[in-house]
Amino acid sequence: MTEKEMIQKNIEEFSRLQTYMIASTEKDSVSYKLMKDRYIELKVILNTFGINLTEIDKIKE
């Protein structure tokens, strides 16, 4: 997998995960907490690639 493909994959997962988090009504649930952990991991990965999350970060946590 090329770096470009990896970046695209992570951006798509980040976007999809945010949609699930926004749709979740139970912010204290185990599922939400697991999603938030992955959200943070993806933010770190994308920042490492130099991706500016300002436009694509809908959660802003």
pLDDT digits (tens, 9 = 90+) for 6-57: 999 999 999 999 999 999 999 999 999 999 999 999 999 999 999 999 999 9
Cβ-count burial of 59 within 10 angstroms (0-12 exposed, 13-18 middle, 19+ buried)? middle
Report pTM.
0.90
* CA–CA separation, 61 and 58 (whole Å): 9
